Structure 1
Amino acid sequence: MSLSDSDREIITTELGREPTRAEAALFENLWSEHCAYRSSRPLLGAFESEGEHVVIGPGDDAAVVALPDPDGANSETYITLGIESHNHPSYVDPYDGAATGVGGIVRDTLSMGAYPIALTDSLYFGGFDREHSRYLLDGIVDGISDYGNAIGVPTVGGSLAFHPDYEGNPLVNVACVGLLSPDRLITAKAQRAGNELVLVGNATGRDGLGGASFASEDLAEDAETEDRPAVQVGDPYAEKLLIEANEVLVEEGLIESARDLGAAGLGGASSELVAKGGFGADIDLNSVHQREPNMNPMEILLGESQERMCYEVRPENVERVREIAERFDLGCSVIGEVTEGNYTCTFERSEARHASDDSSGEKSEPRGRETVVDVPPEFLADGAPMNDLDHVEPKPEPANRDLPDVGLEAAFESVVSSPNTASKEWVYRQYDHEVGVRTAVKPGDDAAVLAIRETGTGLAVSAGADPTWTAANPYEGARAVAVENATNLAAKGASPLAAVDCLNGANPENPEVYGEFRGIVSGLADACSDLSVPVVGGNVSLYNDSVAGPIPPTPTLAMVASREGYDAPPTGLSGEGEIVLVGRSEGPLGGSELLAQSGGTDRFPTVPDRSGELIETLAAVADREETLAVHDASHGGLAVTLAEMVSRGAGASVTLDGDPIGTLFNERAGRALVETTDPDGVAAAFEGIAPTTRLGRATDDGTLTVETGAGTIDYEFEAIRDLRAVLEHELD
């Protein structure tokens, strides 16, 4: 690890001296792209983060949102919402990289005083036909399932996408929802000088050393071997104990503020905690409980060992905190106190460490206590200069369409059986999605629904992105990601409340890459504004680049919505109503799965102009008694939507006008299929907002029949099920 010359000059000028080795390492990590958002922070002001239900927005470990009462007023029940990436670690070590991503976002939830109730995972891999992609998929899914199942937090949703440009750099984006009441709320803002800083959890080791710096550079060809020490090793059973201990600490009112130890380890958590409150700290590094001998100050400060929390505690409560930690078999160290001065760390070298230094041939430090860090906390935590990067606007879409010359039946089979649009049951059946007994709508649906019994509210959760969309058009593709997630929620009869984003991009120093990144930020911000959905927090992950090339710009969005009660309409057809399409049926094929398979080109379809009204109306229609089923229409187009709605006991007979390829396979966002006994009522509800089309009827024979001017598609449920089971066939 090393500071850049320009950063070292700024730091030396501010300190009036050269930084110590420990200070230089601390600045190098806290001023990294991963921690300081040096290339992205200038763009993030585009997001609207305030709203009537927002309690705490961006800047803390997680956002806090008040759930509405049935009359729309804020209730006394809050949720937390957070998201993070663990991309580079999951390439180097798929199992531990993904597992510790889950652990980190759960601890972000704990640090707000909340109890974690649900997880989502959005995963992106190289081509499914590549052996290495399958190796990564298997390890990452195992890591998520083993960790999440062991800590007792259900994984209820997410997304899975394959794209050749993730071959050298997969993405693992994990979101967590927590539950709390106003009296439990704590933040990562230190409250008072004189309070103690207490470290609770696993002992500190050398694993994950320099993880923040590692996450802020392109993956090298030898990353899987050379960067292994930068990947943390998770212990889900310790995390479960930490979850329960945190619950007791919060219930007894023993915590003044908290921060989990993630990127940049103890140095990052403790310095940011006190800086946020306008304080400093005196930290004794020897007091940190350690699991490896002869650790030096830099290792203690920056090791990213997992399952650790830093608490601010009043002096009179320290002994009680220690008792609770001991009850849960967790380590506990009083490592320092909050002060009015600088952020300082002292260290006394042991005889063994001194001898080790002597034997290495390096110049040894004198024995005795020394101050290894003495810096202004605000300068350390927030002083990184922002990058002023060049950008090139994304190339315009082709004026001439290059559409696939493919038969209707062949197109249907290739799209329905694509790993991108096929059933994801192979993944989510490995997750315990029912632990906690809140999951009212399980994975595999448009959105999960959690039963918040405290208020009688159903909390719908949707998460994901589509790299094919944003590769085709970063701005419009990102807008479509937001609208598609909102449509997923509305299909469950839920009205969107808030969202968090995970903005993944490649090397921002490449002007074309940075231009694409600017496009997804603007597109996501504009769409969320149109939807009146505040973006209350998020994560940025750049330098997702490797010898295989840059990743597509990937704006993962996790969005939550509320509805009265938990009895959401199903996705599958009942076999008793008419099928109505909400939204335009025809459209260009840009960004579609069919076009991606054929290598053709076309412009990307724009999202509806009145998307906010569309989503609210769809949520209301979904909740009507006459509505029998609702399904968002997006990935794979109407072909996949219809295929997903049929079952052994319910089929569909529909007729499509116009160009059958464009109508069946375009992926325009903001559309839905509604099975209803009142098609006229559906049409009236959307009048002036979105077009509606009666496509046909649901049937009771389990067969999908689609009549077009170019022929008929006719498949029984068993045949469709086999087409959609490609992950099962290839991975089991």
Structure 2
Amino acid sequence: MSRTPSGAGSPGAAPSKLDTVEHAAATPDIEQPWAELGLKKDEYERVREVLGRRPTGAELAMYSVMWSEHCSYKSSKKHLRQFGEKAPHSDALLVGIGENAGVVDIGQGYAVTFKVESHNHPSYVEPYQGAATGVGGIVRDIIAMGARPVAVVDPLRFGAADHPDTKRVLPGVVAGIGGYGNCLGLPNIGGETVFDACYQGNPLVNAGAIGVMRHDDIHLAKASGAGNKVILYGARTGGDGIGGASILASETFDDAKPSKRPAVQVGDPFQEKLLIECTLEAFAEKLVVGMQDLGAAGLSCATSELASNGSGGMRVTLDDVPLRDSTLSPEEILMSESQERMCAVVEPEKVARFLEICDKWDVIATVIGEVTDGDRLEIYWHGEKIVDVDARTVAHEGPVYDRPYRRPQWQDALQADDANALPRAADSAELRAQVLKLVASPNQASKAWITSQYDHFVQGNTVLAQPEDSGMLRVDEETGLGIALATDGNGRYTKLDPYTGAQLALAEAYRNVATTGARPLAVSDCLNFGSPEDPAVMWQFTEAIRGLADACQVLGTPVTGGNVSLYNQTGEAAIHPTPVIAVLGVIDDVARRTPSAFAEEGHQLYLLGETAEEFGGSAWSQVVHDHLGGLPPKVDLERERLLADVLIAASRDGMIAAAHDLSDGGLIQAVTESCLRGGRGARLVVPAGLSASTFLFSESAGRAVVAVPRSEEARFTGMCGARGLPAARIGVVDGDAVEVQGEFSLPLSELRDAYEATIPGLLA
């Protein structure tokens, strides 16, 4: 990008004079680099129509980043409205969609804010910094709401595990997540890592964060009160990240295009830690009227959204922005996505104290403007007005597309290629070999090589963390009040049927929270799809949103916010549609939590729910047959609610010693993981009416396996019977092997070798 004001001439050409508002009005025919900045021709024409003249270079920069797909949701906004239109009533919801992050009431005067976002494209270009700044950005969303961040999670998707580029991308991403989160002192309590060739060249690096506050501490992003000061504080503004998340994440990768490496932001977690403490102290002293972090679109976003959300306009002087590169043009200052920056609106009489707190924490802070009457956002440079816009047109009144969508022609053939027709193991020896192959496959194998690089227990409030079904944190030391968070998503299911696949992602995250004993409360989502300009991708997207909104209605879990990540494709090859769903839950006392490990011999193993022959999109079909086809498992949301109620009650009343949901890999994967975590074997019996393959590998939804002490068996089965939940005794915790009666026995030592060797072997 040119270091000269874009719009004063062709890109790179030296302008004859500063491109002021007055100059723009007097020179309507100057050619401007709107296409270079990511705008379509009709969008540029609309900017001119809105302004009644051509935009200045600075205005063009602002509109280009704020009207990008990443910031404006122009292709998705029409469909996202379903989350509001179909939202279930929830007494717990305090702040919903539209703010930096959603907020829910968890009782005892506590509120929790949480959100999941994407940093996919930057993480492919520069894995370490892309992932690190993804963590930093989502954490700033949390502190902007007034909460103290307490944990992070990291749902990840990479290309084929044995592909050379995976060895480039994955270690850098993991190091970036661990490096930034560990330096902040935030435990990483959950997430997942999935490998699939469809993500080659388009890894999904989704980052989530959780924050805790009291109800009175909630803050919103708005600028109100004429005369109130606008303070920019945190790191200096540099040339890194110009158009990074906003433009880089709004187009597909193409080998013919120039490198996007300069667009990736550079993070400093130690600066962010100071920013957290500084911000929370200012909040505690009631010094702040409104707050906005500087993430995607940087100062363009912070100023326009604060003004648009408030009751007034804003006047800003760019000369007062602290820079670490004095050669930056005003356009670059407005577009820069340099990290660790926040924008606060403060009453004049409180400015001195706010600046004192910033100085105490060694945080640079500068008054760069003030709130004004009216609705104008005015920005000055060297005494000249270079921006004069209605803030709403920048922040909230960008283009809204009703993109065409249609069911792809190949969908019928894909669904007709039924995975249930794939050949099963011919004998017990082959069945045993298939179990070992499944357990050792990259998606089912231990991810300890990855998760060991994260600190799970810093701050001392983590009670469950990876690889448990959901992470869990203690919120109140005296009462034991706690929260749980799980993230899930299955692109293979969603490719087969987007509507059902999205519901299965929600159902699995909901089930994972309930399995630990917490009651699911609310949802955040990160919707990762290909190009919205492809009608087939838009059909996948619309169906997934419809499925998710319908399922949230039934489960009573409102969507509080989230992120849409589009253009995840290289050329014509899109990723599998991958909605990643985060479910937050609350537990009255973390001492009552349920772990997943089978830790005591003699406990009876019960399979909750019903098992059918459902192999579409399954791990077994992928690992054993390299197959994707058929239909995903059926969804019964009322059964999911019933299963959750039973798991929560059993945890609260001490009826179960362990529980593990059944999902990828089916029963045998869940039993293997629980046995290895507890260091105890299990003897299993195939129920009448099921083949051994269906019993072990089916991925029917709405199921969990639980370990029940003999003393609680009658009480537990009585509760299941009274509530109408199928509960079949399938075995016992015993010995040092996983044995399937009449079929095979696998020593834990052999299973452990298969389970633990894969990822280090691929990535070493």
Q: Give the structure-1-normalised TM-score.
A: 0.93
- Equivalence for 2:760: 728
- Pairwise CA distance, 1:143: 0.2
| Counterpart secondary structure, 1:244 | helix
- Equivalence for 1:615: 644
- Equivalence for 1:35: 71
1:599 to 597, 617, 626: 626
Matched, 1:668 2:704: no
What is the rounded CA distance, in whole Å, between the counterparts of 2:605 and 2:117 in structure 1?
39
| Counterpart secondary structure, 1:79 | strand
Which stretch of the first structure deviates more once superposed, 137-146 or 408-417? Answer: 408-417
- Pairwise CA distance, 1:50: 4.9
- Equivalence for 1:628: 657
- Equivalence for 2:350: 317
2:273 to 240, 247, 254: 240
Structure 2 residue identity aligned to 1:579: L
Matched, 1:65 2:101: no
- Pairwise CA distance, 1:618: 2.0
Structure 2 residue identity aligned to 1:654: L
Residues 682 and 736 of structure 2 are in contact (CA less than 8 Å); yes or no, is this contact kept in structure 1? yes
Q: How does 1:271-350 map to 2 (within 5 A)?
A: 271-349=304-382
- Equivalence for 1:204: 237
Matched, 1:652 2:682: yes
2:51 to 6, 12, 15: 15
Runs of 4 or more above 4 Å deviation? none
Give a deviation string over 1:633-687, Cα, whole Å, max 9, x none: 1111011011011147421111113222222112222210011124444343334
- Equivalence for 2:585: 561
- Equivalence for 1:174: 207
Give a deviation string over 1:238-284, Cα, whole Å, max 9, x none: 00111111121111111111000001100111110110113211000
Residues 476 and 604 of structure 1 are in contact (CA less than 8 Å); yes or no, is this contact kept in structure 2? yes
What is the rounded CA distance, in whole Å, between the counterparts of 2:314 and 2:267 in structure 1?
28
Matched, 1:403 2:422: yes
- Equivalence for 2:531: 507
Which stretch of the first structure deviates more once superposed, 96-105 or 211-220? Answer: 211-220
- Pairwise CA distance, 1:548: 7.3
Residues 251 and 567 of structure 2 are in contact (CA less than 8 Å); yes or no, is this contact kept in structure 1? yes
What is the rounded CA distance, in whole Å, between the counterparts of 2:194 and 2:39 in structure 1?
36
Residues 117 and 178 of structure 1 are in contact (CA less than 8 Å); yes or no, is this contact kept in structure 2? yes
Which stretch of the first structure deviates more once superposed, 339-348 or 289-298? Answer: 339-348
- Equivalence for 2:569: 545
1:417 to 413, 434, 440: 440
Give a deviation string over 1:351-380, Cα, whole Å, max 9, x none: xxxxxxxxxxxxxxxxxx221110001111
2:480 to 452, 456, 466: 456
Structure 2 residue identity aligned to 1:640: Q
Give a deviation string over 1:397-421, Cα, whole Å, max 9, x none: 2175441444312221111111111
Residues 154 and 436 of structure 1 are in contact (CA less than 8 Å); yes or no, is this contact kept in structure 2? yes
Residues 225 and 311 of structure 2 are in contact (CA less than 8 Å); yes or no, is this contact kept in structure 1? no
- Pairwise CA distance, 1:712: 1.3
| Counterpart secondary structure, 1:487 | helix
The 3 A distance-change label for structure 1 pair 649 and 21 is: closer
The 3 A distance-change label for structure 1 pair 191 and 686 is: farther
The 3 A distance-change label for structure 1 pair 141 and 11 is: same
| Counterpart secondary structure, 2:356 | helix
Which stretch of the first structure deviates more once superposed, 517-526 or 530-539? Answer: 517-526
| Counterpart secondary structure, 1:506 | coil
- Pairwise CA distance, 1:564: 1.8
Residues 642 and 725 of structure 2 are in contact (CA less than 8 Å); yes or no, is this contact kept in structure 1? no
Residues 198 and 335 of structure 1 are in contact (CA less than 8 Å); yes or no, is this contact kept in structure 2? yes
Structure 2 residue identity aligned to 1:53: A
What is the rounded CA distance, in whole Å, between the counterparts of 1:542 and 1:2 in structure 2?
14
Residues 158 and 199 of structure 2 are in contact (CA less than 8 Å); yes or no, is this contact kept in structure 1? yes
Which stretch of the first structure deviates more once superposed, 580-589 or 137-146? Answer: 580-589
Which stretch of the first structure deviates more once superposed, 558-567 or 543-552? Answer: 543-552
Residues 585 and 663 of structure 1 are in contact (CA less than 8 Å); yes or no, is this contact kept in structure 2? yes
What is the rounded CA distance, in whole Å, between the counterparts of 2:179 and 2:363 in structure 1?
21
| Counterpart secondary structure, 1:427 | helix
Residues 118 and 207 of structure 2 are in contact (CA less than 8 Å); yes or no, is this contact kept in structure 1? yes
What is the rounded CA distance, in whole Å, between the counterparts of 2:253 and 2:88 in structure 1?
32
1:389 to 383, 403, 419: 403
Residues 531 and 569 of structure 2 are in contact (CA less than 8 Å); yes or no, is this contact kept in structure 1? yes
Give a deviation string over 1:228-247, Cα, whole Å, max 9, x none: 11110001110011111112
- Equivalence for 1:439: 462
What is the rounded CA distance, in whole Å, between the counterparts of 1:169 and 1:553 in structure 2?
12
- Equivalence for 1:355: none
Residues 581 and 695 of structure 1 are in contact (CA less than 8 Å); yes or no, is this contact kept in structure 2? yes
Give a deviation string over 1:210-245, Cα, whole Å, max 9, x none: 12022111112266x610111100011100111111
What is the rounded CA distance, in whole Å, between the counterparts of 1:569 and 1:84 in structure 2?
28
| Counterpart secondary structure, 2:74 | coil
Residues 643 and 703 of structure 2 are in contact (CA less than 8 Å); yes or no, is this contact kept in structure 1? no
- Equivalence for 2:602: 576
Which stretch of the first structure deviates more once superposed, 200-209 or 272-281? Answer: 272-281
1:642 to 658, 666, 671: 671
Residues 183 and 270 of structure 2 are in contact (CA less than 8 Å); yes or no, is this contact kept in structure 1? yes
Residues 524 and 555 of structure 1 are in contact (CA less than 8 Å); yes or no, is this contact kept in structure 2? no
2:726 to 668, 673, 691: 691
- Pairwise CA distance, 1:609: 4.3
- Pairwise CA distance, 1:446: 0.7
What is the rounded CA distance, in whole Å, between the counterparts of 1:348 and 1:19 in structure 2?
15
Residues 507 and 637 of structure 2 are in contact (CA less than 8 Å); yes or no, is this contact kept in structure 1? no
Residues 526 and 565 of structure 2 are in contact (CA less than 8 Å); yes or no, is this contact kept in structure 1? yes
Give a deviation string over 1:125-180, Cα, whole Å, max 9, x none: 00101011122110000000000000111111101101110001001111110011
| Equivalent residue pairs, number | 702
What is the rounded CA distance, in whole Å, between the counterparts of 1:432 and 1:634 in structure 2?
26
Give a deviation string over 1:532-569, Cα, whole Å, max 9, x none: 11111111111111137211111111111111211212
| Counterpart secondary structure, 2:82 | coil
- Pairwise CA distance, 1:724: 0.9
Identity between Structure 1 and Structure 2 (%): 39
The 3 A distance-change label for structure 1 pair 685 and 284 is: same
